[in-house]
Amino acid sequence: MNKKKKMRRYEAIEEITKELKGDELVISANGKISRELFSIRDSACNFYMLGSMGLASSIGFGLSLSLPYKRVVVLDGDGNLLMNLGSLATIGHFAPSNLLHFLLDNEMHASTGGQRTVSSKVRLEEIARAVGYKTVKKVSSVQELRTVVSEILGSDSEREGPSFVLAKIESGEREVPRVSHEPQFIKKRFLTNLSNFTVTQLTTPNRLTNDRAGKFVVLKSVNFHPARIYLQRLHLVTKLD
């Protein structure tokens, strides 16, 4: 009988990043999650939240609103999410279809000494489902995670979102260095990368953008600039010939 291979956080992040096409925006929670993502795949598309605990989901949510045609991936931890549980309700209410929220749950604050969290008693995936996440999955092995990630990230078709994947992981971690980039550099590189994006398609308005229909004027192959993020949030994106 084949036993399911249990996974640690490093292996889970590896499986997720293997399926990335390379242009998704990846927001990682502070602590060991950011360190391991940095070790596995450093990229200008990565925003490492090195300081504020619990805000990776909020940052990812804001980006998903501002850039509805970009896939936004959040790598979260149970300690982080429990610190900002209200973000789930906000995400569920606005329901950005381009947001994919991974929760790597080892039931502890691994970055600060292994203190236990309450996630062993709180069904965080059911909270996500209750507040409005359209796709909710729970996995506990490398094989299960690989299948779910392939289904969600590997599909070119429109998918109902936001998506929430809770991955139960074992304690223990690989020795990896801290993120060597300074916070100022992370911010500058990330924003510079945003400025290089090309607007190729604005998908059909979903629940989030129904009230915006007809207010966007976006040309194909228009160079995207960070300042336009603000304008877009005001529904005032203008075309540049």
Q: What is the pLDDT of residues 195-219, one digit of tens each?
A: 876 544 344 444 444 444 333 333 3
Model confidence at 24: pLDDT above 60: yes
In the prediction, which pLDDT does 116 show?
85
163-168: strand order across its sheet: 46-48, 25-28, 72-77, 99-105, 163-168, 135-139
Q: Distance (Å, rounded) from C-alpha 147 to C-alpha 62? A: 28
Give the tokens for residue 109.
């604050």
> pLDDT tens across 30-63, in order?
999 999 999 999 999 999 999 889 999 999 999 9
Model confidence at 114: pLDDT above 90: no
The average pLDDT across 91-112 equals: 90
> pLDDT tens across 120-175, in order?
999 999 999 999 999 999 999 999 999 999 998 766 545 678 999 999 999 877 88
Model confidence at 82: pLDDT above 50: yes
**pTM score of the predicted model:** 0.80
Mean per-residue pLDDT of the chain: 81
From the CB of residue 14, how many other CB atoms can be counted at a distance below 10 Å? Answer: 18
Contact 9, 173 (CB under 8 A): yes
Segments making up each domain of the chain, as ranges: 9-168
CATH class of 9-168: alpha beta
